[in-house]
């Protein structure tokens, strides 16, 4: 954002001139891929928060939030301009707005250069105004904008006034279920001007404050003010010390709180805090659930790199799926500024001797390697100076490898020079502190037995797509029967239809759909397409379409794995059947492929030498980075978790998504974090549960991309699957009182659309960490109230390793057929602060839940049973260990690449709507009835024990009988179904988490 600094100091006259033009609207041409361009009227809304246009089929969705704009570029710089507008438009009339998580581009052309300059200046001024806004200012701005927007949307006739009927309609939209008499009374109290019967915006603000008066906060204020309607400085100090557990509370601090948050000038003069000021303070960032001190780097940054979790991205350049999406250099800028510290660059030979970056064997677009390096160089250290790891996946010829090395050295310059880095003790990796401002190249290194004079040599070639059979990779052969465009068009339509189908699900799903199902459907559809066009097969050569998708999704047959010697014949067999495994860590890969590597590129790799498991030699060297796909890493974690943790105390490990995740879905990172893996790489372009966990984990410690692992993971070892992994350590007792909710919206994607009724919310709280800590609990349902529901319920949890635990707050709307996802917020356990706190739901402007937090230390083996209701007697009967042993039997499946850490190896059938309704409802709590909490095992698969206990769609271990009892009376399922229905053993339903879950027999 450094280039925005100049726009902060624009003269007021120039700013107003720009704003006036933008709010009046300007006709511009909107370029789109595959079209000539559309003429639209673009304008800035009156709050200066959204860019809108008309006409548009998207209606209300035709808008871009100013907050979501990443950058504005002048001229014809975007890909669409390069493809369509070259030579047709004056560059001074062209500009591009990049926005959103996927760096979408809005490419615009004005009728003259002056209009373009006005829009570019105005947009950059608005971006500069919010770039360094503190959290309090942002919270106040978004609140003010929300109130104003709410008023305008309620004003149906646009006269700037609201009558009583419009107020009633607004109450319904805000999920407020108040008696009409009470609403009319507040309306009359707020209506104080001469124009009786309507509310102006100022009067509406008064009405809204009356309506928003919080009984819970008012009672809290009375309890500390000796039943007065305000707090004195001394009473405020007492509240902060006793309830909020703040230390060093001074008189000056309390006076500052009153000055910032009190509304009444009279109260300010008396140095007292009234209910409005107290409400403002309690809803401010000062009383957020996240520890404000953790917005800055607070951890020890002088330990070796291997002692930190490092925020890592997979296929960083992609904006969407792994088959057809666009590659953009701006994705590197986005993820680096989000805090990611390890980015991936897939390098391939390009035309004219220029290496390119794209996803191999696919139709993703290509970008120049040089542009990628320049972007990384520009944005690597804008937000923080801790080191960036460049994960190079090298597929280039020696000639283009030399070009890669040339660009790295020429552009990064002294950022690559690690000669002065202090490594501290011998045989240790350097620390993040000592590597500040440095870029580490992760890649292959020439073997040491080659002399220094060797210009090139053979190294092993690990391709992240190796787990996909060669026949499934895209082969570019064409004949007169088909073209790349035809095949791309067909696959794109198939992919889009499957994506749409997958969206009929809960927002909590970690995977958008089953990848193997997508491959199978795409393969079958393409074959049908080819049968309808027999001319495609006229040539004796393979056509592009045939070779493109032949066997895409085909399951190779495998025989029973042999556990004894690993002969040459078996090695060949392993290459043909890569699903086989011998059970040994160093033989998890298939037979080695090799490639030529040049000395120049090898010499740039210092502390991050990329190796495969079979290349590991315990010779005391440091600087190896072991790379695993999720499927192979899953086997190691389950079979040798303690040895894996010991390895990760001295070296780095990178885990990346399976190549079969062509939808760019993300695996569950939790098992790998629990084993001490540092570089757990996720697809940052894919929003969902897994990225939310990742974002929460790395938000702490100043969002610098480095989070210190627990001391127990850095020295010594323990079994993460154990029922009591750290018996000598105190545990944390987490007592959470869920008090109330505020302005909870209707679910955006309700199963039957917007049915108009007010939501029935309940809160679910989930602990995510070691398997023994994973559990969840939920409140009762509050009927017909999303504006200010009150639960007043206490949930209690025991956490064995709080340093790695996450706490996830979810709000659901209960209805007769199950539940709909409203919103979530995930926070690291170590960043929770005690006292009365607001939990703001991620991505929602005003929605929050109000809680009280108490954290105690507890000791003793039996404390979980006593203090944590989720700890069932199964733990003490050895069920956890039994499940672990059952999991070990399947470590080396015949086809392990088809499973992942959160998936079982069973085939997943497509569920009918009846199955979905039945499954969704099993976890919905009965209205007015508290639902007991059960143990939750996120990592450990339950297979043979389903008759004893069944895991529901959320992964919660629940006794079957209790699940049935918990169904609401209104559940429209025939009782005869409950006794007769039993899912076959070979089939398992995809749960609402999107997982291939364990069997549930109903």
Residues 216-249 pLDDT 10s: 999 999 999 988 989 999 999 999 999 999 998 9
| E strand or H helix at 279 | helix 275-282
pLDDT for 977 beyond 70: no
pLDDT in tens, 643-698: 999 999 999 999 999 887 888 889 999 999 999 999 999 999 998 999 999 999 99
Q: How far apart are CA 773 and CA 673, in angstroms?
A: 14
The torsion defined by the Cα of 687, 691, 693 and 695, in degrees rounded to 10, comes to: -100
Q: How far apart are CA 453 and CA 463, in angstroms?
A: 28
Provide long-range contacts, Cβ within 8 A and 24+ apart, for 880-886. Answer: 880/721, 880/722, 880/723, 880/771, 880/772, 880/937, 880/940, 881/721, 881/723, 882/945, 883/937, 883/940, 883/941, 883/942, 883/945, 884/638, 884/721, 884/940, 886/941, 886/942, 886/943, 886/944, 886/945
The pair of structure tokens assigned to 335 is 């993820």
pTM: 0.73
pLDDT at 645: 92
Do residues 446 and 452 make contact, with C-beta atoms less than 8 angstroms apart? Answer: no
pLDDT at 976: 28
When pLDDT is averaged across residues 868-886 and rounded to a whole number, the result is 40
The pair of structure tokens assigned to 660 is 């079969």
pLDDT in tens, 421-439: 877 666 789 999 999 999 9
Closest by CA to 309, choosing from 299, 317, 319, is: 299
Do residues 892 and 558 make contact, with C-beta atoms less than 8 angstroms apart? Answer: no
Confidence of residue 800 (pLDDT cuts 50, 70, 90): very high
Residue 391, strand partner residues: 344, 442
Burial of 618 (0-12, 13-18, 19+ CB in 10 A): exposed
Burial of 43 (0-12, 13-18, 19+ CB in 10 A): middle
Confidence of residue 802 (pLDDT cuts 50, 70, 90): very high
pLDDT in tens, 750-783: 554 445 578 899 999 999 999 999 999 999 999 9
pLDDT at 482: 54
Phi-psi region of 955 (alpha: psi -120 to 50; beta: other; left: phi over 0): left
When pLDDT is averaged across residues 521-532 and rounded to a whole number, the result is 52
Q: How far apart are CA 677 and CA 255, in angstroms?
A: 47
Confidence of residue 148 (pLDDT cuts 50, 70, 90): confident
pLDDT for 969 beyond 50: no
Do residues 804 and 824 make contact, with C-beta atoms less than 8 angstroms apart? Answer: no
List, in order, residues 6 or more apart from 250 with CB less than 8 Å away: none
Indicate the angle between helix axes 201-211 and 180-190, nearest 10 degrees: 130
Of residues 360 and 33, more confidently modeled: 360
When pLDDT is averaged across residues 38-44 and rounded to a whole number, the result is 91
C-alpha pair distances (Å), 891 with each of 562, 879, 896, 951: 14, 19, 8, 21
CB atoms within 10 A of CB 627: 24
pLDDT in tens, 563-616: 333 333 333 333 333 333 333 333 344 456 788 999 999 999 999 999 876 655
pLDDT at 750: 57
Q: How far from the centroid of its chain's Cα atoms is residue 760's Cα?
A: 27
pLDDT in tens, 370-413: 999 999 999 999 889 999 999 999 999 999 999 999 999 999 99
Sequence length of the chain is: 1002
Longest CA–CA separation in the chain, Å: 96
At 168, is the secondary structure helix, strand, or coil? Answer: helix
Residues assigned a catalytic role: 314, 358
Phi, psi (degrees; rounded to nearest 5) at 134 = -75, 165
Q: How far apart are CA 814 and CA 819, in angstroms?
A: 4
Q: How far apart are CA 838 and CA 968, in angstroms?
A: 30
The pair of structure tokens assigned to 622 is 């440091």
Percent of the chain beyond pLDDT 70? Answer: 68
H-helix segments, 618-688? 630-639, 641-647, 670-674
Across 781-847, where does the E strand assignment appear?
Answer: 790-799, 806-815, 818-828, 835-840
Q: How far apart are CA 293 and CA 603, in angstroms?
A: 40
Q: Which of 105-119, 185-199, 429-443, 522-536 has the weakest average pLDDT?
A: 522-536
pLDDT at 498: 55
Q: What is the mean pLDDT of the chain?
A: 75
pLDDT for 622 beyond 70: yes
Q: How far apart are CA 797 and CA 800, in angstroms?
A: 10
Q: Which of 176-180, 381-385, 910-914 has the weakest average pLDDT?
A: 910-914
């Amino acid at each position: 954002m450094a280039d925005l600094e100049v726009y902060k100091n624009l003269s007021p006259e120039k700013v107003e001139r720009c704003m006036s033009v933008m709010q009046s609207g300007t006709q511009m041409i909107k370029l789109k891929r595959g079209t000539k361009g559309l003429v639209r009227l673009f304008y800035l809304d009156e709050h200066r928060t959204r860019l809108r246009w008309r006409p548009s089929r998207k209606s209300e969705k035709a808008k871009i939030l100013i907050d979501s704009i990443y950058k504005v570029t002048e001229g014809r710089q975007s890909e669409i301009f390069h493809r369509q507008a070259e030579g047709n438009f004056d560059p001074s009339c062209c500009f591009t707005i990049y926005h959103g998580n996927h760096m979408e581009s809005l490419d615009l052309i004005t009728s003259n250069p002056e209009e373009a300059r006005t829009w570019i200046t105005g947009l950059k001024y608005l971006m500069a105004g919010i770039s360094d806004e503190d959290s309090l200012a942002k919270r106040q701005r978004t609140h003010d904008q929300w109130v104003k927007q709410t008023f305008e949307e309620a004003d149906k006739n646009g006269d700037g006034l609201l009558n009583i009927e419009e107020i009633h309609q607004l109450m319904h939209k805000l999920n407020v279920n108040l008696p009409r008499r009470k609403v009319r009374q507040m309306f009359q109290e707020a209506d104080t001007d001469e124009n009786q019967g309507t509310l102006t915006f100022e009067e509406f603000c008064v009405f809204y404050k009356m309506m928003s008066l919080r009984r819970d906060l008012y009672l809290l204020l009375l309890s500390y003010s000796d039943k007065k309607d305000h707090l004195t400085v001394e009473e405020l100090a007492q509240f902060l010390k006793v309830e909020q557990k703040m230390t060093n509370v001074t008189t000056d601090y309390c006076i500052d709180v009153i000055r910032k948050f009190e509304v009444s000038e009279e109260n300010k003069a008396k140095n007292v805090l009234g209910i409005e000021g107290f409400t403002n303070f309690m809803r401010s960032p000062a009383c957020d659930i996240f520890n404000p001190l953790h917005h800055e780097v607070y951890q020890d940054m002088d330990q070796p790199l291997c002692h930190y979790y490092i925020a890592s991205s997979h296929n960083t350049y992609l904006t969407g799926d792994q088959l057809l999406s666009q590659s953009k250099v701006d994705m590197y800028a986005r993820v680096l500024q989000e805090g990611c510290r390890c980015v991936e660059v897939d390098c391939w030979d390009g035309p004219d001797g220029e290496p390119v970056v794209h996803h191999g064997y696919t139709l993703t677009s290509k970008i120049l390697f040089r542009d990628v390096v320049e972007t990384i160089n520009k944005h690597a250290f804008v937000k923080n100076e801790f080191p960036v790891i460049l994960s190079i996946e090298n597929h280039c010829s020696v000639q283009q490898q030399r070009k890669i090395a040339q660009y790295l050295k020429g552009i990064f310059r002294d950022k690559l020079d690690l000669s002065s880095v202090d490594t501290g003790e011998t045989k240790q990796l350097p620390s993040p502190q000592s590597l500040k401002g440095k870029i580490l190249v992760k890649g292959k290194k020439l073997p040491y037995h080659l002399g220094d004079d060797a210009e090139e040599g053979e190294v092993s070639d690990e391709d992240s797509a190796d787990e996909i059979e060669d026949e499934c990779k895209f082969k570019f052969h064409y004949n007169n029967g088909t073209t790349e465009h035809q095949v791309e068009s067909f696959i794109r339509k198939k992919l889009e239809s499957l994506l749409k189908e997958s969206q009929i699900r809960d927002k909590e799903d970690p995977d958008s759909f089953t990848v193997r199902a997508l491959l199978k459907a795409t393969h079958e559809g393409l074959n049908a397409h080819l049968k309808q066009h027999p001319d495609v097969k006229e040539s004796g050569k393979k056509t592009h379409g045939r070779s493109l998708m032949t066997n895409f999704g085909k399951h190779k047959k495998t025989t029973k794995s042999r556990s004894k010697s690993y002969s040459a014949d078996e090695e060949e067999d392993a290459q043909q059947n890569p699903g086989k495994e011998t059970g040994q860590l160093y033989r998890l890969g298939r037979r080695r492929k090799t490639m030529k590597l040049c000395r120049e590129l090898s010499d740039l790799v210092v502390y991050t030498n990329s190796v495969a498991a079979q290349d590991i030699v315990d010779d005391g060297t440091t600087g190896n980075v072991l790379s695993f796909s999720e499927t192979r890493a899953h086997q190691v974690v389950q079979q040798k978790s303690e040895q894996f943790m010991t390895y990760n105390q001295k070296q780095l490990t990178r885990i990346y998504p399976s190549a079969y995740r062509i939808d760019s879905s993300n695996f569950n990172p939790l098992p790998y974090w629990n084993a001490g893996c540092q570089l757990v790489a996720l697809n940052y372009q894919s929003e969902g549960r897994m990225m939310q966990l990742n974002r929460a984990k790395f938000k702490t410690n100043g969002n610098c991309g480095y989070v210190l692992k627990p001391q127990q993971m850095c020295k010594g070892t323990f079994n993460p699957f154990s029922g009591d992994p750290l018996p000598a350590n105190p545990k944390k007792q987490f007592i959470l009182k869920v008090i109330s909710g505020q302005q909870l919206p209707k679910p955006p994607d309700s199963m039957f659309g917007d049915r108009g009724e007010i939501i029935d919310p309940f809160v679910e709280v989930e602990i995510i960490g070691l398997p023994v800590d994973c559990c969840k609990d939920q409140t009762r349902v509050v009927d017909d109230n999303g504006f200010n529901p009150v639960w007043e319920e206490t949930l209690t949890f025991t956490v064995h390793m709080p340093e790695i635990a996450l706490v996830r707050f979810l709000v659901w709307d209960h209805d007769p057929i199950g539940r709909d996802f409203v919103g979530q917020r995930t926070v690291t356990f170590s960043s929770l602060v005690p006292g009365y706190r607001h939990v703001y739901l991620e991505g929602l402007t005003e929605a929050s839940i109000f809680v009280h937090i108490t954290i105690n230390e507890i000791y003793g083996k039996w404390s979980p049973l006593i203090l944590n209701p989720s700890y069932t007697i199964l733990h003490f009967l050895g069920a956890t260990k039994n499940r672990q042993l059952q999991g070990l039997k399947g470590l080396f499946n015949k086809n392990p690449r088809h499973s992942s850490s959160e998936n079982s190896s069973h085939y997943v059938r497509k569920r009918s709507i009846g199955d979905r309704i039945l499954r969704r409802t099993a976890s919905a709590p009965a209205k007015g009835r508290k639902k007991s909490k059960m143990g939750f095992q996120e990592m450990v698969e339950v297979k043979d024990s389903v008759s004893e206990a069944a895991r529901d769609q959320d992964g919660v271990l629940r006794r079957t009988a209790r699940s049935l009892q918990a169904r609401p009376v209104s559940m429209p399922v025939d009782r005869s179904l409950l006794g007769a229905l039993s899912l076959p053993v070979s089939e398992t339903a995809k749960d609402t988490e999107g997982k291939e879950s364990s069997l549930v027999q109903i």
